[in-house]
């Protein structure tokens, strides 16, 4: 079982430009939470705040608390490196390490943590199976990671993220660069993975949110407008802006 996350009074800036304004949100463990909203509403920034990646951008700032379980990951003295080992991320554009083979890509995170050399094979196989990629690459683990198709590369990135056994998996529009067949595969994987991980997925595709997510949050201009079970949000939205967005009046 993995932990959930709680966000309290979160603000974020790029320089002097505010991007997130007073977000309060609870991400339930072992569930899929989707973040939807129009371009520029702050959903990608929100997710990057969750694994302390936002602060790596020069001039970026965060205020507020973000709890993984009971611990505030922004408390002074907390090492962001350790936070990121518990909270993994898959990006919009697949980004396997180009100088490494498929095996080395999946093992990359493990090697950083000083994983025992002997057990690497086993863990790499397990992660590739979790990402439904094992059958396709088992015979060519030493080939370059970039020689795969887009969908395969994204699953490789997923295997890489899962290999370090995070508690939470963040996915920033993971299927938007993929063709429909690959997208469906990713969505299937998300449904399977939630029993082991807490998943947060950013998507600009509302139908995708409806397909995979248990909870959905609607962001607009840096604010959290509405948050609730997916079915309710889409059929009986409480806020007028939510209704306008899901019926396509804007966005």
Single residue of 35, 41, 89, 124 touching other proteins by CB under 8 A:
89
In the numeric block, the tokens 């909203």 are attached to 37
CB of 220 to other proteins, least distance (A): 26
Single residue of 11, 14, 91, 134 touching other proteins by CB under 8 A:
91
Angle between helices 150-163 and 120-130 (to 10 degrees): 130
Vertex 83: Cα angle to 81 and 87 (nearest 5) = 115
Per the DSSP assignment, residues forming a β-bridge with 144 are 101
Determine the Cα–Cα distance for residues 219 and 232; give it in Å rounded to an integer.
Answer: 16
| C-alpha distance from residue 209 to each of 159, 201, 212 (Å) | 22, 8, 6
* Binding region for other proteins (CB under 8 A) out of 5-13, 140-148, 175-183, 235-243: 140-148
For residues 107 and 233, which CB has a smaller minimum distance to other proteins in the complex?
A: 107
Going by C-beta distance under 8 Å and a sequence separation of 6 or more, which residues neighbour residue 70?
A: none
Lay out the site mask for other proteins across 97-126 (x = CB under 8 A, - = otherwise): xxx--------xx--xx-------------
For residues 37 and 88, which CB has a smaller minimum distance to other proteins in the complex?
A: 88
| DSSP secondary structure, 26-55, as one string | EEPTTSEEEEE-STTSSHHHHHHHHTT-GG
Q: Considering the rule CB under 8 A, would residue 144 count as an interface residue with other proteins?
A: yes
Single residue of 10, 27, 35, 53 touching other proteins by CB under 8 A:
53
For residues 89 and 202, which CB has a smaller minimum distance to other proteins in the complex?
A: 89
CB of 141 to other proteins, least distance (A): 16
171-183: b (≥16 Cβ within 10 Å) or e: bbbbbebbeeebb
For residues 68 and 161, which CB has a smaller minimum distance to other proteins in the complex?
A: 161
- Enter the tokens of residue 143: 């080939």
Determine the Cα–Cα distance for residues 157 and 153; give it in Å rounded to an integer.
Answer: 6
For residues 9 and 143, which CB has a smaller minimum distance to other proteins in the complex?
A: 143
CB of 5 to other proteins, least distance (A): 16
Single residue of 78, 132, 146, 184 touching other proteins by CB under 8 A:
146
Per the DSSP assignment, residues forming a β-bridge with 202 are 35, 172
The residues binding other proteins (CB under 8 A) are: 51, 53, 56, 81-82, 84-86, 88-89, 91, 93, 95-99, 108-109, 112-113, 144, 146-147, 157, 160-161, 164
């Amino acid at each position: 079982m993995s932990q959930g996350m709680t966000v309290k009074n979160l603000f974020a800036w790029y320089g002097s430009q505010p991007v997130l304004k007073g977000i309060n949100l609870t991400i339930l463990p072992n569930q899929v939470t989707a973040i939807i909203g129009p371009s520029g509403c702050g959903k990608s920034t929100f997710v990057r705040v969750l694994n302390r990646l936002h602060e790596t951008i020069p001039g970026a700032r965060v205020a507020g608390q973000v709890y993984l379980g009971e611990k505030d990951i922004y408390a002074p003295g907390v090492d962001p490196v350790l936070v990121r080992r518990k909270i993994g991320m898959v990006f919009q554009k697949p980004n396997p390490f180009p100088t490494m083979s498929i095996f080395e890509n999946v093992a990359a995170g493990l090697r950083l943590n000083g994983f025992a050399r002997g057990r690497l094979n086993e863990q790499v196989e397990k992660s590739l199976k979790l990402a439904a990629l094992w059958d396709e690459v088992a015979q060519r683990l030493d080939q370059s990671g970039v020689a795969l198709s887009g969908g395969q590369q994204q699953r490789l990135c997923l295997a890489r993220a899962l290999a370090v056994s995070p508690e939470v998996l963040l996915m920033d529009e993971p299927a938007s660069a993929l063709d429909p067949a690959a997208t469906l595969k990713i969505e299937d994987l998300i449904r399977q993975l939630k029993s082991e991980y807490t998943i947060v997925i950013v998507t600009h595709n509302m139908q995708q949110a409806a397909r995979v997510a248990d909870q959905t949050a609607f962001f607009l201009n840096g604010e959290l407008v509405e948050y609730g079970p997916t079915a309710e949000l889409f059929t009986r939205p409480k806020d007028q802006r939510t209704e306008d967005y899901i019926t396509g009046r804007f966005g």
